[in-house]
Structure 1
Amino acid sequence: MSVVDLARVPDAPLPSTSLPASGSRPLRILHCCGRFSATQGGTERQARAVCAALAARGHQVSVLTRKQPCPEPRVPGVTVHPRIRAVDRGRLFGLTYTASAIIEMIREAGRADVLHAHHLYFDAVAARIAGRLRGRPVVAKMVGAGPGGDLDRVRGTAGGWLFLRLLRTLDAVIAPSQSCRAELLAAGFPPERIHVIANGVDIALFRPDPASESASPLKDLAGPIVLYIGRLIEAKGLLDLLEAWPLLLREFPHAHLVLVGSGPIEGEVRRRAGSPPLAGTAHLTGEVADVRPYLRAAAAFAFPSWAEGLPNALLEAMAMGLPCVASDIGPIRDAVTDGQEGLLVPVRAPERLAAALGTLLREPALASRLGRAGRKRVKAEFSLESTVTYLEDLYSELCAGTGRGGFRE
């Protein structure tokens, strides 16, 4: 097979525990996250980082999730209950997953002060029902906006109108970007219940570290490396990236494209990557537990997604000082100003994508400036410390409204 399966990094990084404790009282927080995996996409990595940071601040954190085929790395201070069951077959999945999540959340909610669903979809529906039955406040996070985003998926589900009506009654909804907030308002969510809290990156973990480059898993690739990290799904613009790659090879024939992740279109991506003219220059790694060695080895980061909430993978690349080319869509514009922290290109425009990547490879001074500016902006606006503090304040506010909050040891 001409597609190279590169070595995986075995251990997931542990989020920093040096975050300062806030002045809020310790809370019992029950999270619901369909996948709590170290090797999945940005949503899962963000959930793990947030839970670890909350536990480090003294909160009692537990997570309801699906059982994974392989044991996951433990998150210090976090109790994980892999008990949600589902039948992976068409519409049966949503029905069985939601029913199982409701049952398990009702069982655990009595030991929680607040419920937090990490996806404004089945997780949020289950949490809302369990919260209402148990008298607990519920907060849910919107993951993505636009086509294929949370509300789009809800509307496309059988009985979606009923789900949407129920979701509008959530005690709080987290919008990771202003674009997500606008979509929630247009869908009829009460403005006073929408809280804009951006995704956060642990800047102590995600930082440039030239000393680690000697241990790069990509050290055998000679030539500049363009990196993508995320789910292998059509909405991420991966087929556009593969279409753009031969255009870039005309000027940079020794360049390599490395795709980190897995997903529904992995077979199609592998087929294209293993065929001329991409063969030997496009590589798939599968899922990896620690993306930092790949980020350190790359010359540029490509993120041509069509629809997002606020992409964690992009923020992590920026925190590492890696120059980025991303789609010119609302949620990404919340983090990147074109020509300042990165280069933005229209969606579904392979020629423009190739041209922007070529600019970064051709102009190292520009690439370095954009990389430094990207890290500076993440440190200023998208730190995990700030995200967790905002969440603590929101939890405390919700619990105060119900007369609940704090646990006894």
Structure 2
Amino acid sequence: MLFTPHHFGSIELNNRIAMAPMTRSRTDQPGDLPNDLMATYYAQRASAGLIITEGAPISAVARGYSLTPGIYTQAHIDGWKKVTEAVHKEGGKIFIQLWHVGRRSHTSIAGEQPVSASAVKHPDQVFGPLSEGGFGMIETDMPRAMTLDDIQQTIADFVQAAKNAMEAGFDGVELHGAHGYLIDQFMRVYSNQRDDQYGGNQENRMRFMLEVTQAVAKAIGGDKTAIRISPFVTEGYATPDPEITELTLKAIEKLAPLQLAYIHFSENISNYTEMPESYRQQVREIYPHPIMVAGKYTVESAQEILRKGYADLVAFGQPFITNPDFVYRAQQNIELTPIGYDAHSTFYGGGAKGYTDYPMAQR
């Protein structure tokens, strides 16, 4: 099933393999602009049924990692056009991941104090400018709690970013609602200590996620809108959230009428517990639309979860870094180029080395 076509709405995919979003920090400066090197990188991997780009901040304050490509200026739009045109020329489809990191940032990156559901900080590090020059991991700042006006402005920023993505030629957008970033921060009890309509009970804590998703889907179409979530991953928090799995099920049920392109479960990374099969069954009972999964899947385990009907698409991350032709290698059972030390050292920042110089398998 992994190599069979799939479609949602008007979008036809050549296979059920997605390239997962992965931060690579290769933008042009100043301005964090997408460039020709990025276009080459994504075009090399266009045999994936769907590419999901690295996270693209929707505004300056949404930014939490240096050198990441934005989607909030005309220059960003023009830069991304190079990427979408290159991918489409190779017959691929590409969604952009819309990103607001919330409290997982630093003033030197965001240009102002980071924001979150509440003024709650957890020890955390992000990729930013070092005092001695260059870039590296730095401790995040204390965030300020968002006002109601901030919340409405951020929803508007997500909508504008989605419209910008359409102008840039993307096939759709994926909202980053996982991994302890802003949308996730509103959903979890430890990061959301509000006492208004966006905090307190589960209905209120899922409100921001639902309003963002509904607004984006209304602006560009549900079949061009997706969301990534990670209810079994604890990232950016000291301890697991006791309510997040239950809250997520309730939120998914409310998302079903939007008929989104897909819901994307990020699994098996950072601090995590394995998603029980019973939970996957519960999701399928309340959500009849496409589901994507990602998180250290192999070709074999991907085929199995598709066969069981718990997912319609499987995303692969790091294998695509060192194997631009991952789909061909997987289909032909050709050995993969492994992730070695050199690959790890070039994950973030730099140039073509460790980015666009990995060889294709001989055909």
Q: Could you tell me the TM-score, scaled by structure 1's length?
A: 0.27
Task: Name which one, 1 or 2, has greater alpha-carbon Rg.
Answer: 1
Q: Could you tell me the TM-score, scaled by structure 2's length?
A: 0.30
